C-alpha cells in the first residue's frame, strides 16, 4: 500500500508544533548504511539526516480535513468507546505522559494488566507499520483493534455504532467530517487516525542545534550525538528525525514474549523481536522497552552497554559496547535534548 | 530418432520457459530494493538477491500473489513465480520500509 499522498501544515493545538500540507509528499526518509566517520564534515552530514520535516504526511485514501481531525479527537477522548464506559484511547495514550500511560504495561478492561507497554502515538503519522509486533499496516487498521479487543476496551464495533448513534450530538459531527458516508466503522477509524496524525513532537533543543544554534544543547549532548552515531551504533535502528527504522529487532531483554515471531515463526531473528520505538519526547515516556522493564534512560543505556541476553534471535547489531561512565552520561545528555516543551493538550467537549 | 528426441525436448523447453516466462533479478542493498516499480507477465519469476549485510524476509500479502520467501541471509537469493495478474506489494517483513510494487500483466 502506498500511503503518503498529501501533507498538512497545521498548528496543532493539542500537540505541538507547526507543520504543513503539501501535495504528494513522502514520509521522513529512513537512513541506512554504514556508520559515518566522526569528522566535522560527516557530523554535518549526520545532522542533515535528523532534520525534522515541515509537513505531516496523510494517506491518499484518508486526507486531512479539520472536521475529520476534530471528530477524531472527540472519539479519541471518549470513554464511551469502551464497553464499560471507562476507557478511551487517551487512557493508555495520554498527553499527560507523552501520549503513553507511564505504566510498565497497559491496563485494559476490568483493570487487568496487558502484555506490553502502551506505545506512544507521537509521530505515528510517520510510521510505516504499527503495534509492537507490526500486526497493523496502517493507523486506520490499528484504530479499531484496541476498541474491539475484549482485554482492552471490550467494545464490539456493531454495538459501538448503536451506542454512538444514540448520542444525538455525534450525528452532525460525523456528517461534517464524512458528508457521504456518515457513521461507519471505517469512518470511525479514519477520524481517529486523522487526529492521531496531528500529534507530532514539538521542536526540541536538538532541532535547534540541527538547524545551526550551537548553544541549543550542551557539549555533553554533542558528544553523545557522535557516540549515538558511532561507537554506540544506536542509529543502526534509531535512525532519521523520529529516531526509528520501523523495523523489528530482538534487543536481548529477558521477557519471553515472541513479538514479531508470532507472524514469522520460522525466522530466528524475529523471535522476541519488536518494532524500534522512536525517541522523540523520550523523557516523558518511561518506563521503557516493550515490556516496561527498564525504568530510566540511564538504565536503557546500561542495557545496551551490556548487550542483554545473548541468544540466536538477538540482533547482530546488539553487542557489548564497553562504554565509559562519561560516554554513558553523554548519551543520556543527548537523549534528553529530544524532548520538547509540549503545549498542553485541550481536552474536547464530548457530544451528549 | 535421438536427434528428434532432443529437438522435441528443446521445443518443449522453449515453449514452457523461453517463449512465455522470464526471470528478473532484484537486489536488496542498504535496506532498499534495487527497483521500486517493475512490470512483469503472469508466470514470470522474480529472483531476490540479498546484497546487504543483514538478513531480510521478503513477503507479499497481495491477493493472488501471496508468498513468504523466508529468512534470507546476506548473499542468498530466493525466487518466486507470480501467478496472478494485478498489483503486488512486496516488502521485507523485518524492515517494512523496504517496499516495491510489482505489476503483473496477463
Q: How far B24 CA lies from chain A's nearest CA (Å)?
A: 22
Distance in angstroms (rounded) separating the CA atoms of residues A250 and A117: 16
For A82-99, how does the pLDDT look when each residue is reduced to its tens digit (9 = 90+)? 999 999 999 999 999 999
List Cβ neighbours of A239 (8 Å cut-off, separation of 6 or more): A30, A31, A32, A49, A245
Give the pLDDT confidence score for residue B20 in this predicted structure: 62
DSSP string covering A281-299: TGGGS-SBSTT--B-SHHH
Nearest chain B residue to A126 by CA distance is: B97
The pLDDT assigned to B8 comes to: 37
CB < 8 Å to A264, chain B: 57, 68, 71, 93-94
Burial class (CB in 10 A: 0-12, 13-18, 19+), B11: exposed
Using a CB-CB cut-off of 8 Å, the residues of chain B touching A270 are: 57, 71, 93-94
Do A268 and B71 lie within an 8 Å CB cutoff? yes
Domain boundaries, chain B: 23-105
- Note whether B96 contacts A: Cβ–Cβ < 8 A: yes
Domain B23-105 homologous superfamily, CATH: Cupredoxins -  blue copper proteins (2.60.40.420)
Could you tell me if B57 lies within 8 Å of chain A, comparing CB atoms? Answer: yes
pLDDT, tens digit (0-9, with 9 covering 90-100), for B89-104: 999 999 999 999 999 9
Residue of A nearest to B36 (CA): A2
The interface predicted TM-score of the complex, written ipTM, equals 0.77
Set of cell numbers at residue A78: 471518549
Q: Do B94 and A267 touch (CB under 8 A)?
A: yes
Q: What is the pLDDT of residue A343?
A: 81
What per-residue confidence (pLDDT) applies to A6?
A: 62
Q: Name every residue whose Cβ is closer than 8 Å to that of residue B17 and which is 6 or more positions away in sequence.
A: none
For residue A266, list chain B residues with Cβ-Cβ distance below 8 A. Answer: 70-71
Tell me which chain B residues have a C-beta less than 8 angstroms from the C-beta of A273: 94
Joined together, the cell numbers standing for residue B33 give 530494493
Locate the chain B residue with the closest alpha carbon to A273: B94
Cis peptide before B90 (omega within 30 of 0): no
Say which range, A5-9, A203-207, A282-286, has the weakest mean pLDDT. A5-9
Residues linked to residue B88 through DSSP beta bridges, in sequence order: B102
Q: What is the pLDDT of residue A9?
A: 59
pLDDT in tens, A194-234: 999 999 999 999 999 999 999 999 999 999 999 999 999 99
Q: Is A152 a catalytic residue?
A: yes
Residue with cell 516488502: B91
- Mean pLDDT calculated for residue range A116-121: 97
All cell numbers assigned to B88: 503486488
- Could you read off the pLDDT of A329-343 as tens digits, one per residue? 999 999 999 999 878
> How many angstroms separate the CA atoms of A281 and A202, rounded?
8
pLDDT at A163 over 60: yes
pLDDT at site A43: 81
Fold of A59-197: Cytochrome Bc1 Complex; Chain D, domain 2 (1.10.760)
Long-range contacts of A93-96 (CB under 8 A, 24+ apart): A93/A118, A93/A119, A93/A120, A93/A121, A95/A14, A95/A15, A95/A342, A95/A344, A95/A345
Q: Which residues of chain A lie closer than 8 angstroms to B103, CB-CB?
A: none
**Subunit contact A128:B71, Cβ cutoff 8 A:** no
Does the pLDDT value for residue B23 go beyond 80?
A: yes
Judged by CB atoms closer than 8 Å, whether chains meet at A128 and B97 is answered as yes
Considering only the beta carbons, identify the residue of B30, B55, B68 that sits closest to A269. B55
- Chain position carrying cell 513532537: A201
Catalytic residue among A29, A54, A67, A152: A152
The reply to whether domains A59-197 and A203-336 share a CATH topology is: yes
Q: Which residues of A touch B57 (CB under 8 A)?
A: 264, 267, 270
Q: Where are the domains of chain A?
A: 59-197, 203-336
Probe site for chain B from A30, A315, A317, A319 (most B CB atoms < 10 A): A30
Higher pLDDT, B2 or B47: B47
Q: How far is A191 from chain B (nearest CA, A)?
A: 25
Nearest CA distance, B43 vs chain A (angstrom):
23
Distance from CA of A30 to the nearest CA of B (A): 8
Separation CA A148–CA A140 (nearest Å):
14
Write down the pLDDT at residue A7.
65
pLDDT in tens, A46-80: 899 999 999 999 999 999 999 999 999 999 999 99
Domain A203-336, CATH number (from 1.10.760.10, 1.10.600.10, 3.40.309.10, 1.10.3720.10): 1.10.760.10
Closest alpha carbon to A335 in A294, A275, A278, A295 = A278
Instruction: Kindly determine whether residue B96 and residue A32, on different chains, have CB atoms separated by under 8 Å.
Output: no
CB neighbours of A258 closer than 8 A, spacing ≥ 6? A271, A272
State the average pLDDT over residues B64-86: 91
Amino acid at each position: 500500500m502506498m500511503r503518503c499522498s498529501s501533507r498538512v501544515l497545521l498548528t496543532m493545538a493539542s500537540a505541538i508544533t507547526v507543520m504543513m500540507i503539501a501535495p504528494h509528499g513522502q514520509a521522513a526518509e529512513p537512513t541506512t548504511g554504514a556508520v559515518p566517520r566522526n569528522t566535522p564534515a560527516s557530523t554535518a552530514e549526520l545532522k542533515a539526516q535528523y532534520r525534522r520535516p515541515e509537513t505531516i504526511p496523510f494517506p491518499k485514501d484518508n486526507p486531512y480535513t479539520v472536521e475529520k481531525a476534530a471528530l477524531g479527537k472527540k472519539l479519541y477522548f471518549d470513554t464511551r468507546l469502551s464497553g464499560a464506559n471507562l476507557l478511551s484511547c487517551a487512557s493508555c495514550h495520554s498527553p499527560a505522559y507523552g501520549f503513553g500511560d507511564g505504566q510498565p504495561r497497559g491496563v485494559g478492561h476490568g483493570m487487568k494488566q496487558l502484555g506490553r507497554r502502551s506505545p506512544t502515538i507521537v509521530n505515528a503519522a510517520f510510521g510505516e507499520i504499527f503495534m509492537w509486533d507490526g500486526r497493523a499496516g496502517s493507523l486506520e487498521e490499528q484504530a479499531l483493534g484496541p476498541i474491539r479487543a475484549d482485554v482492552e476496551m471490550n467494545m464490539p464495533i456493531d454495538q459501538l455504532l448503536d451506542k454512538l448513534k444514540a448520542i444525538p450530538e455525534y450525528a452532525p459531527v460525523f456528517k461534517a467530517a464524512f458528508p457521504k458516508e456518515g457513521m461507519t466503522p471505517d469512518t470511525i477509524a479514519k477520524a481517529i487516525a486523522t487526529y492521531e496524525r496531528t500529534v507530532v513532537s514539538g521542536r526540541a533543543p536538538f532541532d535547534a542545534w540541527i538547524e545551526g544554534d550551537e548553544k541549543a544543547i550542551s557539549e555533553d549532548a554533542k558528544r553523545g550525538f557522535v557516540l549515538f552515531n558511532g561507537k554506540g551504533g544506536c542509529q543502526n535502528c534509531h535512525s532519521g528525525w523520529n529516531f526509528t527504522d520501523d523495523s523489528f529487532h530482538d534487543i536481548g531483554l529477558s521477557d519471553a514474549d515472541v513479538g514479531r515471531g508470532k507472524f514469522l515463526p520460522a525466522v530466528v531473528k524475529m523471535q522476541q523481536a519488536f518494532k524500534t520505538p522512536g525517541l522523540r519526547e523520550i523523557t516523558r515516556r518511561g518506563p521503557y522497552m516493550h515490556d516496561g522493564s527498564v525504568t530510566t534512560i540511564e538504565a536503557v543505556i546500561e542495557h545496551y552497554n551490556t548487550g542483554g541476553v545473548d541468544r540466536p534471535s538477538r540482533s547482530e547489531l546488539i553487542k557489548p559496547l564497553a562504554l565509559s561512565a562519561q560516554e554513558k552520561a553523554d548519551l543520556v545528555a543527548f537523549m534528553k535534548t529530544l524532548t520538547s516543551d509540549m503545549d498542553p493538550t485541550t481536552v474536547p467537549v464530548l457530544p451528549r | 530418432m535421438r536427434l528428434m528426441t532432443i529437438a522435441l525436448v528443446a521445443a518443449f523447453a522453449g515453449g514452457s520457459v523461453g517463449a512465455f516466462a522470464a526471470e528478473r533479478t532484484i537486489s536488496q542493498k542498504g535496506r532498499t530494493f534495487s527497483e521500486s516499480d517493475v512490470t512483469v507477465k503472469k508466470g514470470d519469476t522474480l529472483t531476490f538477491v540479498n546484497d546487504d549485510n543483514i538478513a531480510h524476509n521478503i513477503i507479499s500479502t497481495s491477493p493472488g500473489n501471496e508468498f513468504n520467501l523466508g529468512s534470507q541471509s546476506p548473499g542468498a537469493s530466493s525466487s518466486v513465480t507470480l501467478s496472478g495478474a494485478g498489483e503486488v506489494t512486496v516488502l521485507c517483513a523485518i524492515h517494512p520500509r523496504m517496499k516495491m510494487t510489482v505489476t503483473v500483466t496477463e
